[in-house]
């Protein structure tokens, strides 16, 4: 497929005609309720879906550096994916409640580790359920597999690379947080407000329509009209989560040199010598 987004109709067809050929990953999560995702999964989920816990499976506890949502070590990530029945050749469809950062985080991890068939369910669980499609509360049986990672280094940036490329020609830093966090008017989760100098702004939620479905490639290109498709784009947010939908959006729009600064703003400000900008500059 040319797109990273798949429709609920396509997923339903695959479940009916090719049962067991997809891994479906449920990554529902609520920042204010740590137990929400698993409880929602236990109540009802897409048939055959496995539950992936954002906190336990897709991040490590924070330390001095690395941001609020650090990536686990590669070997540990591969082990965790394998326990869900995912190997490098198994098509994976990821969903959360609609099109939230949690699903995009798992999608990005899979792509970073070299998985060639990772997709996002358009509209997420909400769209699937509203269509009256099959649901179950039955826990899925999983056959563990060995995930052999083939790391795609050009999908990830760290603080040293971001520092080195500040103000460089042909490089765009893209801040995915809301406007008030970008300008430094608010900093609800971090001790320092503002943004990385030279960054441009594109709120991640603007990649979706009000019903939680994905804006098509042309509309994504309109969002990023000020960024040259030839640029290397380094995307960040507060902790490396809500940047992932913008990485996905840029890929859909045809940008091919896109990296996630996984530590993002919370990592950047953990180094006291890193510069900070306030306002729309």
CB 50 within 8 A of CB 85: yes
Say how many CA atoms lie within 13 Å of 242 toward its Cβ.
20
- Please give the Cα distance from 56 to 37 (Å, whole number): 12
Let me know if 116 is exposed, middle or buried by CB neighbors in 10 A (0-12, 13-18, 19+): exposed
Q: Where are the alpha helices (DSSP H) in the chain?
A: 8-17, 36-43, 54-57, 74-83, 101-112, 124-130, 159-165, 179-183, 217-223, 244-252, 264-268
Helix or strand holding residue 95 (H, E): strand 92-95
What lies within 8 Å, CB to CB, of 160 at 6+ separation is none
| Active-site option among 237, 241, 243, 250 | 237
Annotated active-site residue 237? The verdict is yes
Give the residue numbers marked as catalytic: 237
């Amino acid at each position: 497929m040319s797109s990273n987004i798949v429709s609920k109709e396509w997923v339903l067809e695959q479940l009916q005609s090719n049962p067991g050929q997809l891994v479906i990953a449920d990554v529902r999560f609520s920042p204010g309720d740590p137990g929400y995702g698993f409880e929602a999964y236990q109540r009802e989920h897409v048939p055959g879906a496995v539950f992936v816990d954002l906190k336990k499976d897709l991040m490590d506890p924070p330390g001095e550096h690395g941001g609020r949502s650090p990536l686990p070590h590669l070997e540990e990530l591969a082990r965790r994916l394998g326990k869900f029945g995912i190997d490098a050749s198994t098509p994976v469809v990821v969903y959360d409640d609609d099109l939230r950062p949690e699903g995009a985080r798992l999608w990005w991890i899979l792509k970073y580790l070299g998985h060639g068939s990772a997709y996002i369910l358009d509209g997420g669980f909400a769209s699937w359920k509203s269509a009256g499609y099959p649901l179950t509360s039955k826990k899925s049986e999983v056959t563990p597999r060995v995930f052999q990672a083939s790391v795609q280094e050009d999908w990830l940036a760290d603080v040293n690379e971001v520092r080195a490329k500040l103000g460089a020609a042909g490089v765009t830093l893209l801040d995915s947080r809301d406007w008030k966090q970008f300008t430094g008017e608010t900093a609800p989760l971090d001790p320092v407000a503002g943004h990385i100098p030279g960054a441009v702004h594109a709120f991640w939620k603007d990649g979706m329509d009000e019903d939680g479905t994905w804006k098509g490639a042309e509309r994504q290109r309109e969002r990023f009209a000020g960024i040259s498709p030839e640029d290397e784009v380094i995307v960040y947010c507060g902790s490396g989560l809500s940047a992932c939908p913008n990485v996905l959006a840029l890929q859909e729009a045809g940008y091919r040199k896109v990296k996630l600064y996984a530590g993002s703003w919370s990592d950047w400000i953990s180094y006291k010598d890193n510069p900070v900008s306030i306002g729309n500059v």
